[in-house]
Chains A and B, each alone.
Chain A
Amino acid sequence: MPHIPLPEGVPGPRGPMLFRPEVAPPMSELAEVLMRGPSTLTLAERELIGTYVSARNDCRYCQTIHGAVAAHYLGATEEQERLVRQIKSDPSTAPISPKLKALLNIAGHVQQGGKQVTAEDIAEARRQGATDLEIHDTVLIAANFCMMNRYVDGLATWTPDDPDFYRERAAGLAQRGYVGSSSRSYLCDSQKRLSGTGQDRRSLHCLEAPPSPLSSRPEESWAFAHPR
């Protein structure tokens, strides 16, 4: 059970983002830029970095959903799902490029702590062809997942068990992206679909009004944070 009353039927970080709608725009935008924005790293490579860090942080929701998104980008076969599992347990023996191995090594050190990233980790990534921007993004993706994993588990959010749930949601994330998948209407629609009725108290507060007296209009707080 979550540590605070979150809307029911909304998995992982989307529950607390509905509870506190002001934080959803910046958190979703950061994920969107890092994981889906223009980059010389592929979509699958970036999701694999997020998956690997989440596995090391023992966050079941994050490693399962981002592993499913990575597998989706790679072709959504059982073989790709096996590859994701192999990368989570030991990237050094997985059939992936030396460059991705070097970036996963950086990500694993970021997960342990910023100071654990050594000049040698960086030099190896450079030898394998990684650019400054790719190294920057790898560090920030890993750091961002150290936030998201703690947000998800630190509030004991809902983590579904059914593997098909993750496959289906991964396809949705790949299509709509992280900003699109955090919109209020989308979340309330999926919540209604999942719960079947949408009639319980927490569902209603999701549909009608946010629970906090301070969190009235997320769009406004976003505008407030971004004066033109």
Chain B
Amino acid sequence: MPHITLPDGLPGITGPLAFRTETARPMRALAEFLLRGPNTLSSADREIIATYTSSQNDCHFCQTSHGAAAAHHLGGSSELASNFALISEIKRDFESAPVSAKLKALLNIAGHVQQGGKRVTTEVIARARKEGATDTEIHDTVLIAAAFCMYNRYVDGLATWAPQEQEAYIPMGAHMAHEGYINPPAQKPATHPETVTA
């Protein structure tokens, strides 16, 4: 049960975002720019960085929903199963996953940011540069990882409700990937056991 009284039936971060719309606006705008704004990093790569950071922070809602968004960015519905398998592999051990050397170097930066800002050493940055990362890509990787250290704590620090099963996240991930973060999806909260329909 959430630590404070949140609107019923809204999963994960969408509960506290609806509870406090003044803070929701900039938080949604930041996610929209970082994950879907103009960038030389693909949205799939940026969602993977967010997913990996959330997994390191042990945030079930964030890693599953952003993993689903990444899977949708990576291809159509026929490829979803193999995309989900790739995301799981990256979360488990990105160094051995079939992704580019550059993305591995950026995930390495994100992992260090997750542990703490001072963990990001010049060697960690040099590896990303060697694999072709630009200054802006390094900046954005640091900020995506840092932002998810915020979102993850917001979601779990208020003990928000979230579906356990991955299937529930497939339409959510599609909305995040294709509609974005500014407007929440129209909710059908019937799966929430505590929902009381008026």
Contact = CB atoms under 8 A, between A and B. Distances in A.
Interface of A: 3-5, 16, 19-20, 22-23, 25-27, 29-30, 33-34, 37, 57-59, 106, 109-110, 113-115, 117, 119, 122, 132-133, 135-137, 139-140, 142-144, 146-156, 211-212, 214-215, 221-222, 224-227
Contacts of A113: 57-58, 153, 156
Contact of A151 (B57, B142, B153, B182): B142
Contact of A110 (B29, B59, B117, B157): B157
Given A109-B157, A143-B157, A153-B118, 14 more contacts: A22-B37, A26-B29, A27-B30, A110-B157, A114-B153, A136-B19, A143-B153, A146-B149, A148-B146, A150-B145, A155-B142, A212-B136, A221-B33, A225-B182
Interface string B85-100: 0000000000000000
A30 B153 contact: no
B117 A152 contact: yes
B153 A20 contact: no
A119 to B, nearest CB: 7
A66 B85 CA distance: 44
A120 to B, nearest CB: 11
B125 interface: yes
A222 B37 CA distance: 11
A143 B62 CA distance: 14
B101 interface: no
Given A30-B23, A37-B22, A113-B58, A153 B153 contact: no
B3 A30 contact: no
Contacts of A25: 26, 29
A25 B109 CA distance: 25
A151 B152 contact: no
Contacts of B154: 114, 139-140, 143
Contact of A33 (B22, B136, B142): B22
20 contacts: A3-B138, A4-B139, A20-B136, A26-B27, A26-B30, A27-B26, A30-B27, A33-B26, A57-B116, A110-B157, A114-B152, A147-B150, A152-B117, A153-B120, A154-B117, A156-B120, A211-B135, A225-B29, A226-B25, A226-B182
B153 A222 contact: no
A147 B116 contact: no
A140 to B, nearest CB: 6
Contacts of A27: 26, 30
Interface in B123-164: 125, 135-136, 138-140, 142-143, 145-147, 149-159
Contacts of B107: none
Contact of B139 (A114, A122, A136, A155): A155
A214 B40 contact: yes
Given A16-B139, A20-B136, A34-B23, A153 B117 contact: yes
B38 A214 contact: yes
A25 B145 CA distance: 19
B142 to A, nearest CB: 4
B146 A154 contact: yes
B182 A147 contact: no
B58 to A, nearest CB: 6
- Chain B CB count within 10 A is highest, among A23, A122, A215, A226, for A23
Nearest to A38: B22
Contacts of A23: 30, 33-34, 143
B176 interface: no
